[in-house]
């Protein structure tokens, strides 16, 4: 259940009940951002997720959404976020609280539910509302498209930059023998549960001490030969098969695994099947490979970078237009070819603006024959060299090619800012829905702090409480 917040104007920054008679500064970025966002418009869309009219009302949208923005901007954990909100008056003003209070309006565990409710689809809708209400970013004001009055809109205008990246999750680097050892330890915990709960007098042999010594012998060795790794995988596969046979006997006898073990047991079964197949066929490749038992939705994403050839997280495409506004075009845990995203991104650009872009700035992987033909039919110029054998003598880059190489850096700059400042560089959430929500929120916050908030006009009428006249405050700010 959710109740819409009544339409009201937030209390003045001059009367926020701060300790010691302090007043909030109108130049603070959180005050300016709070006054520039259309909270009621976003809340109406958020309330559609609660069709039920019964039950306990949910926490107000502005508190939940504002706390999520603060967390991304500060990089704080859930516990640390609650401490920051309780200590900072500007954060509480941003959340829409009527006055300063010494405690956080929610517990740290509520942030998990906030992330679940703010789906990537909802966040991208809010992102579109925010971008539609604001002007171009300051560094793109010279590139703003202006059409004289009475002039027909051309078929092609503007620029679209498209690129993909990956936000790695916070997991240990996966190794086959290490994953199998972790699975063995979890299975032994399940066997202990069955034994302690139902059969304390007949515990099966698991040889866990011997298995632990064999694992540490390989894990602590500085040089691991392929033969030694394969031998250890063979031992661990045997241990998993034996332990799973014990658990199946318990289940066949009518005993049931508790809820916390069910999904983990299914993941271990799938891991065993994958590792057994790769061991029998002497290969290291398989589809939908599990790299984490606690996060089985993660997949290896080949990046080809010197620092990180392979990353483990969600992959996504981001487009940036001539205004400097960033939008997420695709988000997936499974690896995919970026070339198939270009046509959809261009069509969405036309839906928003009513025309196709003049040029599309992309990397080589996007420059397929299909995409080139698609752009050619619509009068769109694609950056990069033409198809065919390159000339023997490399010609000097033209002014147009040089400008394309300069402009395409914009999306790399956005990725760098998003990963270093807004939490996309290392995803700390563990659930698949919260991981996708965290990445989408990083893109939204990256836009939020790049676009100008515009002019601010504040007019306050405050009763002094001492004299009969009221005090009037007026403030104008850029």
pLDDT tops 50 at residue 377:
yes
Distance of CA 119 to the CA centre of its chain: 10
Q: Diameter of the chain by CA atoms? A: 91
Kindly report, residue by residue over 240-251, the tens digit of the pLDDT: 999 999 999 999
Q: What is the pLDDT averaged over residues 248-271?
A: 94
Kindly report, residue by residue over 342-375, the tens digit of the pLDDT: 999 999 999 999 999 999 999 999 999 999 999 9
φ and ψ of 402, to 5 deg? -65, -40
Does this model's pTM top 0.75? My answer is yes
Crossing angle of helices 226-252 and 208-219, rounded to 10° = 150
DSSP letter, residue 58: P
Q: What is the pLDDT of residue 206?
A: 93
Contact 474/458 with Cβ under 8 angstroms?
Answer: yes
The length of the chain, given as a count of residues: 478
Q: What is the pLDDT averaged over residues 119-148?
A: 78
φ and ψ of 41, to 5 deg? -65, -40
pLDDT tops 70 at residue 465:
no
Of 469, 474, 336, 450, the C-alpha closest to 73 is 450
Distance of CA 298 to the CA centre of its chain: 13
The C-alpha atoms of residue 114 and residue 46 are separated, in whole angstroms, by: 11
The C-alpha atoms of residue 453 and residue 34 are separated, in whole angstroms, by: 10
Q: What is the pLDDT of residue 471?
A: 47
Of 191, 190, 183, the C-alpha closest to 291 is 183
pLDDT tops 60 at residue 229:
yes
Kindly report, residue by residue over 298-329, the tens digit of the pLDDT: 999 998 787 889 999 999 999 999 999 999 99
DSSP letter, residue 170: S
**Following DSSP, what letter does each residue of 354-404 receive, concatenated?**
SSB-SEEE--GGG--HHHHHHHHHTTPEEPSPPSSPPPSSPPPPPHHHHHH
Question: And the tokens for 473?
Answer: 């405050």
Helix count and strand count (H, E) for the chain: 16, 8
pLDDT tops 90 at residue 398:
no
Of 311, 334, 317, 323, the C-alpha closest to 415 is 317
């Amino acid at each position: 259940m959710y109740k819409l917040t009544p339409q009201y104007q937030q209390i003045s920054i001059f009367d926020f009940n701060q300790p010691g008679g302090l007043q909030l500064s109108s130049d603070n970025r959180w005050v300016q951002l709070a006054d520039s966002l259309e909270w009621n418009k976003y809340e109406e869309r958020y309330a559609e997720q609660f069709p039920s009219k019964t039950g306990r009302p949910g926490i107000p949208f502005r508190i939940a959404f504002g706390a999520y923005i603060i967390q991304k901007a500060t990089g704080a954990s859930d516990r640390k976020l609650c401490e920051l909100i309780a200590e900072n008056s500007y954060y509480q003003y941003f959340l829409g609280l009527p006055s300063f209070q010494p405690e956080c309006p929610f517990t740290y565990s509520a942030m998990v539910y906030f992330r679940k409710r703010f789906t990537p689809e909802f966040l991208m809708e809010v992102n579109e509302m925010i971008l539609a209400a604001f002007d171009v970013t300051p560094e793109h004001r010279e590139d703003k498209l202006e059409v004289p009055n009475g002039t027909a809109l051309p078929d092609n205008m503007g620029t679209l930059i498209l690129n993909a990246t990956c936000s790695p999750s916070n997991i240990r680097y996966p190794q086959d023998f290490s994953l199998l050892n972790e699975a063995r330890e979890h299975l032994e915990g399940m066997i202990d549960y069955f034994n302690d709960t139902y059969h304390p007098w007949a515990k099966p042999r698991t040889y866990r001490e011997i298995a632990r010594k064999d694992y540490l012998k390989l894990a602590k060795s500085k040089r691991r030969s392929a033969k030694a790794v394969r031998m250890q995988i063979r031992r661990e596969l045997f241990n998993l098969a034996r332990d799973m046979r014990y658990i199946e006997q318990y289940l066949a006898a009518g005993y049931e695994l508790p809820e916390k073990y069910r999904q983990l047991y299914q993941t271990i079964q799938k891991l065993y099947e994958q590792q057994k197949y790769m061991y029998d066929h002497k290969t290291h490749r398989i589809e939908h490979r599990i790299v984490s038992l606690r996060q089985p939705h993660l997949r290896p994403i080949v990046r080809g970078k010197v620092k990180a050839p392979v990353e483990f997280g969600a992959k996504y495409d981001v487009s940036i237009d001539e205004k400097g506004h960033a939008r997420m075009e695709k988000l997936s845990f499974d690896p995919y070819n970026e070339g198939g995203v270009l046509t959809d991104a261009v069509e969405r650009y036309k839906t928003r603006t009513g025309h196709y872009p003049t040029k599309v700035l992309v990397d080589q992987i996007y420059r397929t024959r299909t995409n080139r033909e698609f752009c050619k039919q619509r009068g769109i110029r694609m950056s990069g060299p033409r198809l065919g054998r390159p000339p023997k003598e490399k010609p000097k880059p033209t002014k147009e090619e040089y400008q394309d190489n300069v402009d395409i850096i914009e999306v790399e700059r956005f990725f760098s800012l998003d990963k270093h400042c807004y939490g996309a560089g290392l995803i700390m959430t563990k659930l698949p829905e919260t991981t996708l929500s965290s990445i989408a929120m990083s893109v939204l916050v990256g836009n939020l702090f790049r676009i100008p908030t515009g002019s601010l006009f504040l007019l306050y009428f405050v009763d002094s409480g001492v004299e009969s006249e009221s005090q009037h405050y007026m403030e104008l700010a850029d």
